[in-house]
Amino acid sequence: MRLSALIFALLIIAARSHSASAMIPDSAVTDFDEIRRYEVGFAYRNKPEQHLPVGWTGAFEEESGVACFSDGIVDGKNAWLLHCPWLNGTGITFQQFAFSLPKVNKISLSGFTAMRPQAIGKSDGAIFRIYVNGSKLFEEYSLTIDWKPFELDLTQYAGRDAVIRFETDPGPKDNPGWDFTIWGDRKLTLDGFYPKPKTHPGPPTLDLSKMTPRKRSSVPVSGFKGKTSVELAQGAASLKYVGADGTLEYSWRPPTTLKDPLLGKFKLRARMIGDSPVELDLANGSRASWTGNAELLSSKWSSSPDSITLTHDLTVDDKPVKMTITGRIVDKSLVLDVSCSAPVIKLLDNTGWLPAMRANSVVTPYYSGQVKYLPHENIFVNAFLDWTASSASALDSIRAGYSQLTDGSRNLLKERVIYTAAWHPSEVLPCIPNPTSPFIKTVGDKIVLDIWGGKFRYIADQLQALHSLGIDKCIVLIHNWQRSGYDNALPMHYPAQADMGGDEDMKYLVATAKKLGYLISLHENYADYYPNYDFFDVNDIAQDAKGEKQEAWYNPGTRIQSFAVKPNAIMRFAHEQSPEIYKRYRSNSNYLDVHSAGGPWFHVDLNAKERGAGMFRRVFDAHSELFAFERKTFGGPVFGEGNVHWYWSGLLDGVEAQFGTGWGHKQGPSAPLAVDFDLLRIHPLQINHGMGYYQRWADNLGGDKVPPMQMLDQYRMQEMIFGHNGFIGQSTWELPGLVWLEHHLTTPVSEKHSGAKVVDIRYEIGGKWVDSAAAAKIGTYDRVKAVYSNGLKITANNSTEPMRIGDRTLQQYGWLAEGAGVTAGTFLDGNNIIDYAETKDSIFANARSSKDWSFAWPQEITPVVSSFKQTAPGEFQATYSWDVNDIPDKDYRALVHFDYPGIFDEVRIACQQDHNFSTPASQWKSGVFVDGPYSIKLPADIEDGDYPWYTGLFAPDGRRLLLTGVDDGSCRIRLGTLKVRDSGAVITFEPETGRDNQKIYPKNVNDQAPMIDFGKLRTDASVLLRKESGDWVLRVWPDRQTTVEISSKSIKMPKQVDAIGGAGPIAPESRGDWWRLKVGGATQYRWKDNQ
């Protein structure tokens, strides 16, 4: 009886404790991914639960391997990843939320479960569970990337406290390998719940023109004048900011044991002008992973006029250790410099902000940190480690890892932790303390031609053809040219590939590009080290803690694994290669692969004998030295690969600005136009190009696939509003029309925004222009306007509804640049989409007629499997039918691929059945061509599964023809799914049921476009009119018979026009206030300005 009473009492205490921390929902629908007050932990099999700090997020906790973090957008849903423990054992991982639920009519919990795509083929599946107050309400085993829905009725908990627990388990085989379990769109819905929303006033107006990023520190800069102070009294510290926008006061108390937050107990009391004060905790779970048994003996304070220091006296394995934390206020940020007297820390986890309930992520493309908006507290927060003041091996959010070196030692802890809070999101963005690129103006007025194949003389000839179209401001990046081919035998680059023309033709290519006024770069790489390098030496490879070689890129084409060049070998290889490359070819710029694509903690060498061993700072310094060396060697700008390029901005001069950091890889079409970080932090340091390789921008664009015009419009709109240069990728550089459009439309704008400072950013919401703070609170970034210091204004419309700007209308993906001597954009003329760019010396006008812009549309050739039957175990017979409306222009072969289920990278093909046709493709007739039957035998070791079956047409040079049907993004048409069961004993075929996804191609092209009045010029074609050496020169693309009319008020009618390359001079015709020129058959039309 006494025991029962004791248990009951303990339950009551637990319930009271739980009730005290339970959250009261603030809306009828609660998105779990926005809540930051939750418990997370794990339990090994038959062991008690272990809890991580409240609100902990991270990828692979150092002791257990547990992961708990937002995984971005996966297949259209917000995904949250939970990974079960896999270090030192396995078991379950959980994330749980405590609510005080109101009395309502109905409560439901809904969401989805799935495995991350990378898990397919590698994981044996996992178990998803949901508990409420300890009762299991949901359990499901899953091994699929397809989202599976769930919905649970929780109405019985109305008016009660409820702990909702999400749990993942490695499954019946207890194998946690690759168990990337994701929960999607988890929501708690309270029918009939109508809480009164709490409102806050808007913040004081922020003048971006007065915000100059710091050059010596990453600490965010404030947009308001203020005073800071520090005070030490009664065993606690106070660090305070008082400014024109409000007050921020951090209180700081020391820990008493190591169960307390290691850095101390911090609380922020904040009050914005005109609003009520709020309080929130930060660094509440700060902790260290020690190399031995640690004990805190005592802590003591000391102070100076602008800082306060807390010193811990500890023992680690009974040896004395001192740890110091020096705090100061820099503008609005709390800055903590942390150091330790002995190398006894494996990881410092500083944890972040802990709001009352909700923390909304502020989408920040290109930034690898995470800005949050706390709606209850009405404040923006960020927390990060200063990468310029770290001795760590790697940083992960606000965790600093100190890896063990090969001799068992570690480096001394030295970190700078920055907690920042403000009422405008731009005030919590870190500064990038790098020098400004000296080549901003050199780079800024050009587009990039990204070239990955073709013989060198052919490329040179193509460049000359482009130049004849007035395309004279280009950066040419040649990627595949190296002696042994692309990504092979590195770091050996020269001589130039023999089968592409060798050194002599490369010299010709470079000389041609320079003669045309282009910058030209040859692709180099000093990050990946291949075992077939001529002078391969394992001592040039970065080592892990066990002295093993660190792997780098795996080349799926050659099937050769490369290794990580150690930081201390990078410059030696560059000195051996780059000067010789310059001496041979005289290129006037440089391209470096890999180096700017990742954070500085990749390829950190843990070899204790190396200078800078175990510190990513050595990688950062080596890369910085490399960028400077390449600039000096080639006497021009250095370009590189994008993604995590923000750390390197200004140290080099431009990258292909792909998503993957701050916004999802291959998620460009869904990207919001949240431009603040790029325009305020990166753009002042360097001018990037494009939005990434097309195939990295969208998941349905392979390397050979020409994007449809509508996608190119969206891509280009993003380029302009994010302040980038134009970009032409591998699949488009040989299509003169697309180069013509990109060059003539974007270069007048990029020339103006390069080197200019952004002084205002506004988002249109509900018909009103609002600042970034208002947009971030709502999470809407569909319409944006960026204003530059030279008067240039760029407006972009990503919404489905048309947008009116002055007398112009922007359709979806439309944009307009005005001011600083330029008017340019893509917008509507009635129902027609047009392109226009005007400066004082040029007019570009494009009527987008379908007669001119259908050249990249798919060929109307649709393949299907017309017959299928299994003939033996592991064998079947298939016949293909090709519905032919367009006759192929050459004798293509058939590609036939059976892909591994769920594999989307370069090694996705399980087996192939490529073949020639009985009738050469160029001799096909309109109608149905029957191909087969063929007997196909699967590999003997093929595993059971559902294998996507693709076909297509490819030429001898490997290029694929774009066909109609369900295209996978790489010019392959999906025929259906081959289902293999019982090790091939049973094989069935499920035909593809999806719709033809190629019908997008005619969109954004005008069907039978009429004569468009552009204001100073009228035409139904695409024309460029500009001054060259005192003459007016008119070019028309493509060359066809048409008419161009020019306003006499703008440009006086000449007596005659020379038709260069045509039949002879042309006499223009006067038509009132216009004069008409009939064109066709000439490369350009030229007349003197003063005729």
Q: At what angle do helices 567-585 and 616-634 cross, to 10 degrees?
A: 10
- What is the average per-residue pLDDT within 457-476? 98
Q: What is the CATH number of the domain that holds 645?
A: 3.20.20.80
Q: What is the CATH number of the domain that holds 143?
A: 2.60.120.1060
Tell me how far apart the alpha carbons of residues 279 and 251 are, in angstroms, rounded to a whole number.
Answer: 11
- The answer to whether position 85 is within a domain reads yes
797 pLDDT above the threshold of 70: yes
Q: Give me the pLDDT at residue 1, please.
A: 31
Q: Give me the pLDDT at residue 21, please.
A: 74
Q: Give me the pLDDT at residue 556, please.
A: 86
Cβ neighbour number for residue 922 with a 10 Å cutoff: 12
Residues 245 and 367 in one domain: yes
118 pLDDT above the threshold of 90: no
Residues 676 and 804 in one domain: yes
Q: Is 892 helix (H, G, I), strand (E, B) or coil?
A: coil
- What is the average per-residue pLDDT within 720-726? 99
- What is the average per-residue pLDDT within 509-533? 99
Residues 980 and 1078 in one domain: no
Residues 290 and 165 in one domain: no
Work out the burial of residue 1076: count CB atoms within 10 Å of its CB; fewer than 13 is exposed, 13-18 middle, 19 or more buried.
Answer: middle
Q: Give me the pLDDT at residue 278, please.
A: 96
Residues 645 and 793 in one domain: no
955 pLDDT above the threshold of 80: yes
Q: Give me the pLDDT at residue 1091, please.
A: 64
958 — pLDDT class (breaks 50, 70, 90):
confident
Q: Give me the pLDDT at residue 4, please.
A: 32
Q: Give me the pLDDT at residue 14, please.
A: 34
Tell me how far apart the alpha carbons of residues 287 and 259 are, in angstroms, rounded to a whole number.
Answer: 8
Q: Give me the pLDDT at residue 208, please.
A: 96
Q: How far is CA 134 from the centre of its chain?
A: 40
93 — pLDDT class (breaks 50, 70, 90):
very high
Q: Which residues constitute the domain of residue 1021? A: 1013-1088
Q: What is the CATH number of the domain that holds 955?
A: 2.60.40
Q: Give me the pLDDT at residue 833, please.
A: 98
Torsion of CA 628, 633, 639, 643, to 10 degrees: -40
2 pLDDT above the threshold of 70: no
Residues 1027 and 981 in one domain: no
Residues 227 and 312 in one domain: yes
Mean of the per-residue pLDDT values of the chain: 94
5 vs 865: which has the higher pLDDT:
865
Q: Is 1054 helix (H, G, I), strand (E, B) or coil?
A: coil
1064 pLDDT above the threshold of 50: yes
Give the tens place of pLDDT for each residue, 319-340: 999 999 999 999 999 999 999 9
Q: Give me the pLDDT at residue 11, please.
A: 31
Q: 372, 396, 428: which is the final residue of a domain?
A: 428
Residues 153 and 32 in one domain: yes
- The answer to whether position 856 is within a domain reads no
- The answer to whether position 45 is within a domain reads yes
Lowest mean pLDDT among 395-404, 438-447, 631-640: 395-404
906 — pLDDT class (breaks 50, 70, 90):
low
- The answer to whether position 483 is within a domain reads yes
Q: Give me the pLDDT at residue 17, please.
A: 34
Q: Give me the pLDDT at residue 835, please.
A: 99
Give the tens place of pLDDT for each residue, 42-75: 999 999 999 998 888 888 888 899 999 998 888 8
Per-residue tokens: 248: 């921020």
Q: Give me the pLDDT at residue 447, please.
A: 99
Give the tens place of pLDDT for each residue, 806-840: 999 999 999 999 999 999 999 999 999 999 999 99
- The answer to whether position 842 is within a domain reads no
Using an 8 Å Cβ cutoff, are 89 and 106 in contact? no
Q: How far is CA 1016 from CA 740, 1025, 1046, in A?
A: 20, 11, 6
Tell me how far apart the alpha carbons of residues 809 and 836 are, in angstroms, rounded to a whole number.
Answer: 13
Task: List Cβ neighbours of 838 (8 Å cut-off, separation of 6 or more).
Answer: 748, 822, 823, 824, 844, 1016
Q: Give me the pLDDT at residue 7, please.
A: 28
- The answer to whether position 231 is within a domain reads yes
5 pLDDT above the threshold of 70: no
Residues 479 and 398 in one domain: no
Give the tens place of pLDDT for each residue, 147-177: 999 999 999 999 999 999 999 999 888 999 8
Residues 681 and 643 in one domain: no
Domain count, the chain: 6
Residues 789 and 871 in one domain: no
Tell me how far apart the alpha carbons of residues 911 and 934 are, in angstroms, rounded to a whole number.
Answer: 15
8 pLDDT above the threshold of 60: no
117 — pLDDT class (breaks 50, 70, 90):
confident
Tell me how far apart the alpha carbons of residues 656 and 688 are, in angstroms, rounded to a whole number.
Answer: 6
- The answer to whether position 296 is within a domain reads yes
- Quote the percentage of the chain above a pLDDT of 70: 98
Q: Give the predicted TM-score (pTM) of the model.
A: 0.93
- The dihedral built from the CA positions of residue 460, 461, 464 and 465, taken in this order, carries a sign that is negative
Give the tens place of pLDDT for each residue, 215-228: 889 999 999 999 99
Give the tens place of pLDDT for each residue, 745-762: 999 999 999 999 999 999
Q: 596, 631, 656: which is the final residue of a domain?
A: 656
213 — pLDDT class (breaks 50, 70, 90):
confident
Q: 809, 829, 849: which is the final residue of a domain?
A: 829
6 pLDDT above the threshold of 90: no
15 pLDDT above the threshold of 70: no
Cβ neighbour number for residue 121 with a 10 Å cutoff: 16
Give the tens place of pLDDT for each residue, 439-466: 999 999 999 999 999 999 999 999 999 9
- The answer to whether position 197 is within a domain reads no
Tell me how far apart the alpha carbons of residues 12 and 18 are, in angstroms, rounded to a whole number.
Answer: 10
Residues 263 and 389 in one domain: yes
